[in-house]
Amino acid sequence: MDADATVLDDLSGFEFEDVMVEVFRKMGYRNVRQAERIADKGRDILMEEPRENGPPSAVVVECKHTATVGRPVVQKLHSAVQTYDHPGPKRGMVATTGRFTRPAEEYAARVGRESGAAEIELFDGQRLREVGDEIGMDLYSGRIEIVCEETLAPPRDRESVASQLRAAASSVENLDPELVAPSKITLTLLPIVYADTHVNAVFETSVGVIHRVDERDPISILADRDGPRPLAGDVSRLVARNVDRTEPIALDRYREQFDAVDTERFGRTEAEYRDWIAELQCDRFETTVRYTGDNNVTYTRTCRPTESDVSIRSLHPVYVPAVDARLELGEYAYQHSYLTADRDTVVMDGAFGHCVHCGGDGLLTYCENCGSVNCDDHIETERLDGAPVCTGCAVTESFLFKTKYFYDRENLERFRAEYDAMPFYRKAMENPLLAGAAAIIVGLLLFGLLGLVI
């Protein structure tokens, strides 16, 4: 942090108002002044905004030096604007070093829709830092969580999700993909930080350089409130391939398409993520080397880069869409979860990857009788229809010491009647191994008798 930076966390509420007066003046507002510091009327700063046509617009500002600002503060400001005595147009603004809760954002948006104008402007900590950079003021606050409005492209509609499910189902034998349709789709936007890092470290002893690191290493981390952690390789590659192709978050549109939509917030500040990534890279590139000294003695040394050896060229917060689709097939419910960036996907938990009975994988087969997906050990052939039936739902009975599998009791009874009417040689074919063994034994007996006769 620059030595001349204004550390907002160290300021009192009144001192924060002083800083905001200076910020607004540099932004071009006129007649910027602090209101009288008496009973709180929701008016901390009053100023005017020039307009091309007509008199300037009055702006009433409420300053909140807090981590979060909720709906009640925005409502109070709205009332303060309405009661403010000004002959021309007027509007309100809430400025904070932190962030606004979703109810606060929704209230401000509703007021704007109802009035047809942006009556209440929300000026959060992220924007404060950005404006500070633009006007030459280095404003720093540990309270400012990352605020991101960009996401990798989510599925366009329900049919896009259904296509993913059908593609997953295509590897299952006997399962018609047209039967596969999601019954519930949940879209969650996961907070991700993508950083382009460069680790440059040189380790020397009296014999010279014993180890060197010069690596450009992009890294992606999950940045939710449970704490940062590196993403798995395939997910990290998904982010890297698409981080430059984002779109504005459109929650209203997503809610029209999907059953549930959630946005997880970033859990730390940009500065904290930078520190965490630097330490992570120090850990990743730590190694132990062996070298021979001038005295011909072999030494070992742990070479660990310092945080000053790690430069973060860019840090890009972005949301990654996570889709959780539920579907029902017969008696079974399946969950299919994947991360996506338009058509680029990484499956996290596949709906059709394992046998429902034992969790086994390999070749899987669908049982139309109950809706289960089964491995070879749990799938059989239905005796009457010749179709696959699983061991979990099949009705069984032994015929000529051979177990037969049926969809239900009705099919079993039908076959039993057929079996009773069969001639012996047909019954014998219900157990080919037994019939074959019997034929061999009979043949041997006949051959032996023939030998005795001769």
- Can you give the pLDDT of all 454 residues of the chain as single tens digits? 444 556 677 788 888 898 899 899 999 999 999 887 654 556 789 999 998 888 889 999 999 988 889 999 999 999 999 888 888 899 999 999 888 888 899 999 999 888 766 689 999 887 888 888 788 877 765 555 676 889 999 999 999 999 999 999 999 999 998 899 999 999 999 999 999 999 999 999 999 999 999 999 999 999 987 879 999 899 999 999 999 999 999 999 999 999 999 998 887 777 788 889 999 999 999 999 999 988 999 999 999 999 999 998 888 999 999 999 999 999 999 999 999 998 899 999 999 989 999 999 889 999 999 999 999 999 999 999 999 999 999 999 988 788 999 999 999 999 999 888 888 777 777 766 644 544 455 455 555 555 555 5
The reply to whether 428 and 417 lie within a common domain is: no
Q: How far apart are CA 37 and CA 34, in angstroms?
A: 8
The reply to whether 341 and 207 lie within a common domain is: yes
Q: How far apart are CA 367 and CA 375, in angstroms?
A: 11
Angle, alpha carbons 130-134-139 (nearest 5°): 55
pTM over 0.85: no
Q: How far apart are CA 316 and CA 244, in angstroms?
A: 9
What DSSP element (H or E) covers 301?
strand 298-303
Last residue of a domain, one of 348, 371, 402: 348
The reply to whether 84 and 169 lie within a common domain is: no
Q: How far apart are CA 369 and CA 311, in angstroms?
A: 60
The reply to whether 128 and 188 lie within a common domain is: no
The reply to whether 277 and 288 lie within a common domain is: yes
Q: Quick one: tokens of 141?
A: 């606050």
The answer as to whether 145 is a domain residue is no
The answer as to whether 149 is a domain residue is no
User: At 186, which amino acid appears?
Assistant: T
* 283 Cβ contact partners less than 8 Å away, ≥ 6 residues apart: 304
pLDDT of residue 41: 56
The answer as to whether 144 is a domain residue is no
Q: How far apart are CA 134 and CA 140, in angstroms?
A: 14
pLDDT of residue 434: 47
pLDDT of residue 68: 85
The reply to whether 257 and 333 lie within a common domain is: yes
Q: How far apart are CA 322 and CA 299, in angstroms?
A: 49
Q: How many domains does the chain have?
A: 4
| Alpha helices (runs of H) in 84-218, residue ranges in sequence order | 102-115, 125-135, 158-169
- Closest among 54, 56, 78, 74 to 64, alpha carbons compared: 74
The answer as to whether 183 is a domain residue is yes
Strand-pair partners of 135: none
Q: How far apart are CA 407 and CA 397, in angstroms?
A: 12
- Closest among 36, 34, 122 to 73, alpha carbons compared: 122
Q: How far apart are CA 132 and CA 129, in angstroms?
A: 5
pLDDT of residue 184: 97
SS3 call for 174: coil
List C-alpha distances in Å: 307 to 2, 183, 206, 209, 286: 17, 49, 24, 20, 12
Q: Contact, 208 vs 316, CB < 8 A?
A: no
User: At 144, which amino acid appears?
Assistant: I
The reply to whether 221 and 333 lie within a common domain is: yes
* 53 Cβ contact partners less than 8 Å away, ≥ 6 residues apart: none
The reply to whether 37 and 116 lie within a common domain is: yes
Q: Quick one: tokens of 239?
A: 């982010």
The reply to whether 15 and 163 lie within a common domain is: no
**Whole domain around residue 121: which residue ranges?**
7-135
pLDDT of residue 438: 46
Q: How far apart are CA 402 and CA 397, in angstroms?
A: 8
Q: How far apart are CA 183 and CA 158, in angstroms?
A: 10
The answer as to whether 373 is a domain residue is yes
Q: How far apart are CA 65 and CA 11, in angstroms?
A: 8
Last residue of a domain, one of 101, 135, 169: 135
pLDDT of residue 1: 40
Q: Buried (b) or exposed (e) across 106-123, using 16+ Cβ within 10 A?
A: ebbeebeeeeeeebbbbb
The answer as to whether 11 is a domain residue is yes
Q: How far apart are CA 93 and CA 78, in angstroms?
A: 9
The answer as to whether 322 is a domain residue is yes
Q: How far apart are CA 62 and CA 89, in angstroms?
A: 18
The answer as to whether 274 is a domain residue is yes
The reply to whether 251 and 291 lie within a common domain is: yes
List C-alpha distances in Å: 164 to 152, 325, 345, 353: 17, 10, 9, 14
Q: Buried (b) or exposed (e) across 182-209, using 16+ Cβ within 10 A?
A: beebbbbbbbbbbbbbbbebebeeeeee
Q: Quick one: tokens of 420?
A: 């009773």
- Closest among 395, 398, 394, 357 to 374, alpha carbons compared: 357
Last residue of a domain, one of 104, 135, 166: 135
The reply to whether 329 and 363 lie within a common domain is: no
Which pairing describes strands 99-100 and 68-69: parallel, antiparallel, or unpaired?
parallel
How far apart are the two ends of the chain, measured CA to CA in Å? Answer: 111
The reply to whether 321 and 205 lie within a common domain is: yes
